[in-house]
Amino acid sequence: MQNNLIKISFKLNGKQVESEVLAGMTVLELLRRNFRLTAAKEGCGKGECGACTIMLNDQPINSCLKLAATLKNDDEIISVEGFNEDKLMNNIQQAFVEEGAVQCGFCIPGMTITSYHLLQNNPNPDEHAIKQALSGNICRCTGYRKIEAAVKKAADRRHE
């Protein structure tokens, strides 16, 4: 029985896809290895840093902590790559660039996904709400000021 591959099917960035996975494979490994979607990164591998954040059914999760085998037919995963044509995401990404919020870039896919979820649910977040929302995303290059400023800018720009 052991080492058997498990068949899974789920929706990935808008398309129903299938794959075969080992029991211990995480969603992060699935995206990076089987689908070559490398935006989500493994930082800590234990749910502390948020570099692996993806959307599962419109909610941000740590993809390093979810087993690929637990994905179900009607589950929908969106990684940063799936937001390429999304206006709100493009707005967030532009604001990150303009505010100098990106340095090494490792945390940015996770940061932008969490920011996207925040702005979807709270179009006018104050400083506290932004900090609270991003508390599961760690950046080790800079402080968080520029990242917070970028999220604020993206929010303000939506209302222009």
Partner 1 sequence: MSNFEFIRATDIHSACSALKNPGYMAVAGGSDLIVKIRNGMYPDLKGLVDLSGLEQLNQIRTDENKVIIGSGCTMNQIVNDRLLQDYFPVLTKAAATVGALQIRNSATIGGNVANASPAGDTIPALYVLEARVVVTGVNGSRKIPIEEFFISPGKSKLEPGEIIEGFRLLLNKTRGEFLKLGERRAHAISKINLAVSTWNDGRDHYRIAMGSVAPTVLRCKEAEEYLENCEKISPEAIARAAEIASNTARPISDLRSTKAYRKQMAGVLLSRALNKLIQSA
Q: In the bound complex, what is the minimum distance in angstroms from residue 141's beta carbon to partner 1?
A: 19
**By rule CB under 8 A, what string of x and - marks binding of each residue 95-114 to partner 1?**
-------------------x
Contact region with partner 1 (CB under 8 A), list: 31-39, 85-93, 127-135, 142-150 = 127-135
> Whole-angstrom Cα distance, residue 112 to residue 72?
25
Measured between alpha carbons, how far is residue 147 from residues 50, 54, 115, 155 in Å?
14, 18, 10, 12
Determine which residue in the list 20, 48, 126, 127 makes contact with partner 1, applying CB under 8 A. Answer: 48
Q: Are strands 76-78 and 53-56 parallel, antiparallel or unpaired?
A: antiparallel
The DSSP result for 87-128, as a single string, is: HHHHHHHHHHHHTT--SS-TTHHHHHHHHHHHHHH-SS--HH
When asked if residue 140 is in the footprint of partner 1 (CB under 8 A), the reply is no
When asked if residue 125 is in the footprint of partner 1 (CB under 8 A), the reply is no
Alpha helices in 3-71 (DSSP H): 27-29
When asked if residue 79 is in the footprint of partner 1 (CB under 8 A), the reply is no
Helix, strand, or coil (residue 99): coil
- Residue pair 67/27 in contact (Cβ under 8 Å)? The answer is yes
Q: In the bound complex, what is the minimum distance in angstroms from residue 160's beta carbon to partner 1?
A: 27
What is the distance, to the nearest Å, from the Cα of residue 17 to the centroid of all Cα atoms in its chain? 19
When asked if residue 158 is in the footprint of partner 1 (CB under 8 A), the reply is no
Closest to partner 1 by CB, 45 vs 94, is: 45
* Binding site residues, partner 1, CB under 8 A: 1-4, 6, 22-26, 45-48, 50, 53, 56, 59-62, 64-67, 69-70, 72, 114, 117, 131-133, 135-137
